[in-house]
């Protein structure tokens, strides 16, 4: 039997990545660059200078109309009524049992107008979920704008200086998780957000997704960042950067089998804001004394690298959990991991053992995030 191959989806920058000889991989059905010059160099460039990522595979759902706030409030666990125009917030859409449909960033574009940025691998599922959940609500119009934008992430301590060369908008006053619109590379009304997924300062810009425009802006950003040592980065570095910063990745730290409190994201669930999908289940988890397992940071103390899916044991040999993401941390130069363990093993400095190809290797529970960017 031969498998019927589904053609991989491509962003508008696909031929740019291929021409630059980036290593390409199938990422959730998308043909994406995993590495350009090398994961390590790309990771370090973002921590110390600036890196450029194509994140156009991310999806964008817009909710508009007089009922849009009520719709966002029902769909997402954070309190969108606290948002001002031009502000974004980390949030999540939940199933009724308190587990994750997806984690999202909600942007308030104007009164009665919200943009929800969703993950690539969950796009179709998310769009369907939104339709189904708010379908019966009055005064809300939904649009899937996922294919309309090329989304570029410019990340690192030199991100602002790089982007500033390409826009008349004064980027300095834009606070973390705020955004504005302005001219970028001669394009009008580009959304410029101070957001990212690297634990570093940086911006994400949303430009039209036609190939010539996307290619031109990509190249102009690289040219502008040249003096700061900019490098184009792949999803490999994006993953190690977010892991050092202990940010969740759908299908790893969060999924439809993990609830908000287990994932340590309770601070983003505003139970007091009124009803939302998943709220009841979360209240019940709290009433029953909190989660039975928790996401913890691990650092390997013996020689070895714990990786995604490796089992975690107590020092007495009992299997207690599993690593959700594990990797060498290029900036910290340690082998780190995130793992679910029973609450009684979640105290800092608790020693556990990770099974690496049949061998038990010691690790200990450490504070997260593993990396925190220095305050300016």
Partner 1 sequence: MSYPADFKYTKEHEWISVDGAKGTVGITDYAQSSLGDIVFVDLPKVGDKVKAGEIFGSVESVKAVSDLYSPATGTVTEVNEELKDAPEKVNADANATWMIKVDLENAGELDSLLSAADYEKFIAEETGH
Residues that bind partner 1 (CB under 8 A): 23, 34-35, 38-40, 43, 236, 240, 304-305, 307, 327-328, 330, 357
Could you tell me the smallest distance in angstroms from the CB atom of residue 252 to partner 1?
A: 14
Could you tell me the smallest distance in angstroms from the CB atom of residue 23 to partner 1?
A: 8
3-class SS of residue 326: strand
User: Positive or negative CA dihedral for 175, 176, 178, 182?
Assistant: positive
Kindly give, in sequence order, each residue whose CB lies less than 8 Å from that of residue 8, ignoring residues fewer than 6 positions away.
26, 29, 30, 31
CB closer to partner 1 out of 43 and 74: 43
Kindly give, in sequence order, each residue whose CB lies less than 8 Å from that of residue 38, ignoring residues fewer than 6 positions away.
none
3-class SS of residue 252: coil
CB closer to partner 1 out of 195 and 239: 239
Beta-strand pair 100-110/113-118: antiparallel
Could you tell me the smallest distance in angstroms from the CB atom of residue 352 to partner 1?
A: 20
Distance (Å, rounded) from C-alpha 278 to C-alpha 26? 32
Could you tell me the smallest distance in angstroms from the CB atom of residue 373 to partner 1?
A: 20
CB closer to partner 1 out of 34 and 117: 34
Other beta carbons within 10 angstroms of residue 143's beta carbon come to 12
Report how far apart, in Å, the C-alpha atoms of 129 and of each of 28, 95, 266, 274, 277 are. Answer: 18, 9, 22, 20, 11
Distance (Å, rounded) from C-alpha 340 to C-alpha 311? 10
CB closer to partner 1 out of 40 and 137: 40
Give the distance, in angstroms, between the CA of residue 331 and the centroid of all CA atoms in the same chain.
Answer: 19
Could you tell me the smallest distance in angstroms from the CB atom of residue 103 to partner 1?
A: 23
Could you tell me the smallest distance in angstroms from the CB atom of residue 201 to partner 1?
A: 23
3-class SS of residue 148: helix
Could you tell me the smallest distance in angstroms from the CB atom of residue 10 to partner 1?
A: 18
CB closer to partner 1 out of 67 and 328: 328
CB closer to partner 1 out of 78 and 240: 240
CB closer to partner 1 out of 71 and 356: 356
**101: nearest Cα among 278, 307, 318, 282:** 278
């Amino acid at each position: 039997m031969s498998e019927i191959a589904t053609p991989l989806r491509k962003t508008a920058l696909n031929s740019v990545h291929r021409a630059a000889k980036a290593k390409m991989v199938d990422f959730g059905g998308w043909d994406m660059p995993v590495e350009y010059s090398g994961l390590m160099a790309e990771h370090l460039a973002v921590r110390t200078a600036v890196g450029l990522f194509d994140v156009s595979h991310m999806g964008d759902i817009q909710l508009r109309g007089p009922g849009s706030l009520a719709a966002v409030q029902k769909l997402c666990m954070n309190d969108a009524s606290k948002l001002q125009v031009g502000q974004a917030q980390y949030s999540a859409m939940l199933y009724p049992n308190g587990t994750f449909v997806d984690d999202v960033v909600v942007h308030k574009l104007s009164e009665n107008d919200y943009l929800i940025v969703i993950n690539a691998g969950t796009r179709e599922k998310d769009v369907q979920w939104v339709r189904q959940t708010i379908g019966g609500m009055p005064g809300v119009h939904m649009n899937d704008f996922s294919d309309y934008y090329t989304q570029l992430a410019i990340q690192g301590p030199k991100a602002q200086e790089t982007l500033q060369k390409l826009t008349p908008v004064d980027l300095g006053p834009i606070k973390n998780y705020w955004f504005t619109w302005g001219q970028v590379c001669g394009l009008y009304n580009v959304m410029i957000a101070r957001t990212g997924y690297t634990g570093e300062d940086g911006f994400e810009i949303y430009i039209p997704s036609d190939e010539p425009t996307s290619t031109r802006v990509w190249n102009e950003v690289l040219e502008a960042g040249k003096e700061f040592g900019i490098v184009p980065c792949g999803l490999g570095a994006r993953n190690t950067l977010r892991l050092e910063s202990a940010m969740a990745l759908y299908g790893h730290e969060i999924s439809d089998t993990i609830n908000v409190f287990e994932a340590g994201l309770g601070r983003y669930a505003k139970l007091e804001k009124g009803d939302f999908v998943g709220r009841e289940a979360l209240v019940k988890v709290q009433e029953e004394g909190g989660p039975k397992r928790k996401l913890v940071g691990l650092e390997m103390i013996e020689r070895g690298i714990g990786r995604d899916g490796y089992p975690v044991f107590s020092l007495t040999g009992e299997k207690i959990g599993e690593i959700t993401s594990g990797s060498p941390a290029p900036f910290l130069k340690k082998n780190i991991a995130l793992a679910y363990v029973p609450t009684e093993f979640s105290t800092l400095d608790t020693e556990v053992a990770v099974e690496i190809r049949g061998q038990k290797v010691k690790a200990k529970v450490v504070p997260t995030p593993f990396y925190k960017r220095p305050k300016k």
